[in-house]
Amino acid sequence: MSSAQVSSTPLSSAQVSSAQVTSEKEAATSSTGAARVREKGTGFVLSWKFLLLVLIGIIMIVPARRYALPIPSAFALEPYRVAVALIVALIVVAMLTDRGFRWQRLTFGGLVVFYLVTQVISIGVNVPGLVDEGLAENAVSSLGSVVLISAVFFVVRMLSTSESVIDSVVSFTVVVGAFIGACVALERVTRVNVFILFANSLPFLQATSLEESEFIKQGTARAFGSAQHPIALAVFLCMLIPLAIYQSRHARWPVQLANRQLFWLGCTLCLGVGMISAVSRTGFVMLGVMTIIFIMMRPSAISRLLVFGIPALALAFVVSPRNMLSMLRELTNPSALIESQLTAPGMTGSGRLADLGPSLQQASVHPIFGTGLGSRITTGRQANAFILDNQLLSTLLESGILGVIGVIAMILVPGIRLLALARRTNAAERGLSDRQRDLALATGIGIIGYFVALFFLDAFLFIQTFLAFFLLLGIGSWAASQQTRYRAVPASVQAIPVGAK
């Protein structure tokens, strides 16, 4: 054992001698001694885990882009922005003053930085044009917003110091997601958005957005919950379904297997019902792709998938039979579906495919670096572009081919790598436990599902889904980092006499 490994926990000589007979894997998945002392001394409310869960709660519950703190500033002080900035500042202070607070390996961090660099380059190359069009301030604001949102990845990874913290994060995220799904189903029936009512009741929040509060599709009311739009809600809830299925097998509570599967099955159904209440084809396309990947990665788990899938499908037809039949007809009739996406080119509400040709022609003028991040404004009085419902296409116009490469590197590459880590063949060589491989699978599938959604909505404009992606990336980064730890040490660690070099 190296000196760095011995000093990672502040143990006495006798304790070190005893601890050295345990495997490195057990040591890697336990909390550091300093973290335990802090939690015992200050209590859960003042712990890092509590701050992390509060941030996740704010991201999931407070309606995005609708409320801010009533404090004058150059930009809206939305709750998630304040929480992220505060926790990042606390982490920096802790790293400078607390020897027990250690830097965590940011697996995938380089890919996030690469994406951010592509956005900076797109602005730098287009400074003259942005200034001439009066868009320089919007470009800087857009860059600052992207940096702050991506900081969620940094926060989640830095505070995920043990498997216990990860278990709490995953459990809390799924339970809150299930609560949102249940509330959304209620909204679908009553047209009462409990999240808007909750935010309106808080005296320290003020409404800042004129975004729509009612969405209708083919005469059917669509719920949107705490999201900005029904499609964003469907994408958000769909991203959490793999984590709910993971919990049915690996959650530490309930202890009894039957009760555990029943509870997390209920959470999965709530997520599914919430997704259906959004009345969005995008969610079903995501779910279909994610299901195919799961079957390919875990063919022996088809029976468990049916246990979750059949009740969810039956409940979907009970909740909204007309919409389910309508979406099935659309998805099974490709020609009609394509035709519907070719309507009204160049107009608000145009079909996704109708904008493809004109957008590619526009992108050919600035193919490499685009017109600069923040150059396309799709809402408000300064709007100068249409919503394309295709994030990759929007990125191509703003940041060029370089920006698209950055998006692919940041989202698709980690998803594929996590799926590779989740493979059961040659699992011993990767050194991951069954729990960690399944966690890598759940986060990888969720991230791949999000990448699929990029083709059907301007995903980065919908803050909650973008934040949820970085939450999943942080959890996946923890799972991937365990492989790095286990490769660095032999499978068995021999006891080393105290004082030996």
Distance of alpha carbon 86 from its chain centroid, rounded?
20
For residues 413-418, give the mean pLDDT: 94
The answer on pLDDT for 192 being more than 70 is: yes
Cβ 440 vs Cβ 479: under 8 Å: yes
Sign, CA torsion 276/342/456/194: negative
Residue 24 reports pLDDT greater than 50: no
- Three-class SS state of 67: strand
- When the pLDDT of each residue in the chain is averaged and rounded to a whole number, the result is 79
d(CA 168, CA 163): 9
Segment 257-301, tens digit of pLDDT: 878 888 988 898 899 888 888 878 888 889 889 999 998 888 877
Token pair recorded at residue 168: 């709490």
**pLDDT(113) > 50:** yes
3-class SS string, 102-115: CCCCCCCHHHHHHH
pLDDT over threshold 90, residue 452: yes
Which pLDDT value is given to residue 196? 85
Extract the tokens encoding 328.
Answer: 């099935």
pLDDT by residue (tens digit) across 143-179?
999 999 999 999 999 999 888 999 999 999 999 999 9
What pLDDT does residue 32 have?
43
Return the pLDDT at 476.
94
pLDDT over 90 (residue 349): no
Residue 16: pLDDT above 50? Answer: no
Instruction: Grade residue 20 by pLDDT with cuts at 50, 70 and 90.
Output: very low
479: which 2 tokens? 């799972």
Per-residue pLDDT band for 243 (boundaries 50, 70, 90) equals very high
SS3 11: coil
Q: What is the pLDDT of residue 9?
A: 40
Residue 17 confidence (pLDDT): 41
Three-state SS for 206?
A: strand
Give per-residue pLDDT as tens, 49-84: 999 999 999 999 988 888 888 877 767 788 999 999
Torsion of CA 237, 240, 242, 245, to 10 degrees: -100
Q: Residues 265, 234, 244, CA angle at the centre, nearest 5°?
A: 25
pLDDT of 195: 87
Residue 459 confidence (pLDDT): 87
Q: Burial of 11 by CB count in 10 Å (0-12 exposed, 13-18 middle, 19+ buried)?
A: middle
CB atoms within 10 A of CB 426: 7
pLDDT of residue 441: 94
Confidence of residue 352 (pLDDT cuts 50, 70, 90): low
Segment 402-431 shows an average pLDDT of: 85
| % pLDDT > 70, the chain | 75
CA distances from 66 to 74, 426, 464 (A): 16, 48, 12
Residue 27: which pLDDT band, with cuts at 50, 70 and 90?
A: very low
Closest CA to 464 of 221, 123, 176: 176
Please calculate the CA angle 464-470-474 and round it to the nearest 5 degrees: 140
Q: E strands within 156-271? A: 206-207, 215-217, 220-222
For residues 453 and 390, what is the distance between their CA atoms, to the nearest angstrom? 8
**What pLDDT score was predicted for residue 303?**
74
Instruction: Give the pLDDT score at 427.
Output: 59
Better pLDDT: 347 or 127: 127
Instruction: Label the pairing between strands 206-207 and 215-217.
Output: unpaired
DSSP code per residue over 285-323: HHHHHHHHHHHHH-GGGHHHHHHHHHHHHHHHHHH-HHH
- Please give the structure tokens belonging to residue 421: 């880590």
Of the CA atoms within 13 Å of residue 96, those in its CB half-sphere come to 6
Lowest mean pLDDT of 21-35, 136-150, 328-342, 457-471, name the range.
21-35
- Please state, in angstroms and rounded to a whole number, the distance separating the CA atoms of residues 217 and 307: 31
Q: Averaging pLDDT over each range in 182-191, 255-264, 365-374, which range is the top one? A: 365-374
